[in-house]
DNA sequence: TTATCTGCAAACATTTTGCAGCGAG
DNA sequence: CTCGCTGCAAAATGTTTGCAGATAA
């Protein structure tokens, strides 16, 4: 059903090596820099199939770009992502799940699902930004 | 700073008349059907300025399209949207904001922002679904 | 009058797709 | 050997922008 090609394992390797969420294009560049050229279309196709299989997490940045990451946590969880460098922390939000369920019930909604992501500027990027502003 | 043009008020009128979230392109079509032609670019520009001024809420559908809606609630709030009919309830989530801020601080992140939307099946659509299943 | 807004079309950015050839199984 | 995978370039999508002319104030 799914062949193991040089390209597919190259993409998987990069996803294992990189910690943060990266766009398809960034991954494509990384692969090129590594000397393992993989067509951009193939990167997209591979990421999509990995995402379908639940092997990578996908989310969309504020400007509508899809970013991918191999997550440690397997089940449902949320992310706190640096909007500058993409550094990501996986977090649990039990209180949020409870609240979501309550809200749903309160308005007569069933099968409540939710999306929730946190964005911020990580300590390192914040420091860099302040330095640049001369403050 | 902001002129009141025929186009701008036409867009505002449509936003007042429509209850659910609509994409720029859908709004553009509605305007055309009403006979008040407004250029697509103008629709985009107007929606953007309304969004900047906090007069409309914007959120992104699963397939990356931006959808707009005039919300009753003025400040920051979330939505509980029916995944079947699109009916939307505006909700507050003070506990979520607090939790988000805490999480950010805990990991050394600044300027924490968050996205959070709830999806479910509203009472009416749930009833209809059950009826169709014959249960 | 004049600075802003509009409409059009062209530009953009990201993602998808058609197709001929390559290569894993 | 075969059928799925790959690469390329072209297409699709949603949104933005440059510019000349229209228009609100």
| Residue B5 shares a structural domain with residue B64 | yes
- Contact yes or no for A103/B106 (Cβ under 8 A): no
pLDDT at A129 over 80: no
Q: How far does Cα A62 stand from its chain's mean position? A: 13
| Residue B101 shares a structural domain with residue B44 | no
| Greatest mean pLDDT range, A37-51, A59-73, A74-88 | A37-51
Per-residue pLDDT tens over the stretch A68-98: 999 888 888 999 999 888 889 999 888 889 9
| Residue B78 shares a structural domain with residue B13 | no
Rounded average pLDDT over B102-111:
95
CA distance B15 to chain A (A): 23
| Residue B89 shares a structural domain with residue B42 | no
Count how many domains chain B has: 2
| Residue A57 shares a structural domain with residue A33 | yes
Looking at A70, A87, A121, which one is the last position of a domain? A70
pLDDT at B135 over 60: no
d(CA B63, CA B89): 21
10 Å CB burial of residue B35 (0-12, 13-18, 19+) is: exposed
pTM for this structure? 0.87
Q: Return phi, psi of residue B75, to 5°.
A: -80, -160
Shortest CA to C1' contact from A43: nucleotide: D6
| Residue B10 shares a structural domain with residue B59 | yes
| Residue A132 shares a structural domain with residue A87 | yes
| Residue B65 shares a structural domain with residue B3 | yes
| Greatest mean pLDDT range, A68-77, B49-58, B73-82 | B49-58
Query: According to the model, what pLDDT value does residue B95 have?
Result: 85
Q: Which of residues 22-81 of B touch strand C (CB under 7 A)?
A: 37-42, 45-46, 64
What CATH code is carried by the domain that includes residue A112?
3.30.1490.190
CB contact under 8 A, B115 and A110: no
Strands A22-23, A66-69: pairing kind = antiparallel
d(CA A16, CA B5): 54
Looking at A44, A70, A96, which one is the last position of a domain? A70
DSSP, collapsed to helix, strand or coil, labels residue A101 as helix
| Residue B66 shares a structural domain with residue B25 | yes
What CATH code is carried by the domain that includes residue A38?
1.10.10.10
CB contact under 8 A, A114 and B119: yes
pLDDT bucket at B17, cuts 50 / 70 / 90: very high
Under an 8 Å CB criterion, which residues of B touch A? 60, 64, 66, 80, 82-83, 89, 91, 93, 95-96, 99-100, 103-104, 107-123, 126
Looking at B70, B98, B115, which one is the last position of a domain? B70
| Residue B57 shares a structural domain with residue B93 | no
| Residue A12 shares a structural domain with residue A53 | yes
10 Å CB burial of residue A102 (0-12, 13-18, 19+) is: exposed
pLDDT bucket at A135, cuts 50 / 70 / 90: low
Under an 8 Å CB criterion, which residues of A touch B? 60, 64, 66, 80, 82-83, 89, 91, 93, 95-96, 99-100, 103-104, 107-123, 126
Nearest to A67 by CA among A78, A75, A57: A57
pLDDT bucket at A30, cuts 50 / 70 / 90: very high
| Residue A119 shares a structural domain with residue A84 | yes
CB contact under 8 A, B120 and A113: yes
pLDDT bucket at A28, cuts 50 / 70 / 90: very high
CA distance A125 to chain B (A): 9
d(CA A64, CA A58): 12
Least confident among A112-121, B84-93, B101-110: B84-93
d(CA B83, CA A112): 10
Q: A4: domain range?
A: 1-70
The reply to whether A8 Cβ lies less than 7 angstroms from strand C is: no
């Amino acid at each position: 059903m799914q062949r193991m090609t040089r390209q597919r394992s190259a993409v998987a390797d990069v996803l294992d090596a990189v910690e943060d969420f990266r766009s398809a294009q960034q991954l494509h560049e990384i692969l090129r820099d590594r000397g393992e050229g993989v067509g951009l279309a193939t990167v997209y196709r591979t990421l999509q199939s990995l995402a379908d299989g639940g092997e990578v997490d996908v989310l969309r940045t504020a400007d509508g770009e899809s970013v991918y990451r191999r997550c440690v946590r397997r089940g449902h969880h949320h992310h706190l992502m640096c909007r500058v460098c993409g550094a990501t922390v996986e977090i649990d939000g039990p209180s949020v799940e409870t609240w979501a369920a309550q809200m749903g019930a309160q308005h007569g909604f069933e099968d409540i699902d939710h999306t929730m992501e946190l964005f911020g500027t990580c300590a390192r990027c914040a420091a860099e930004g302040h330095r640049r502003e001369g403050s």
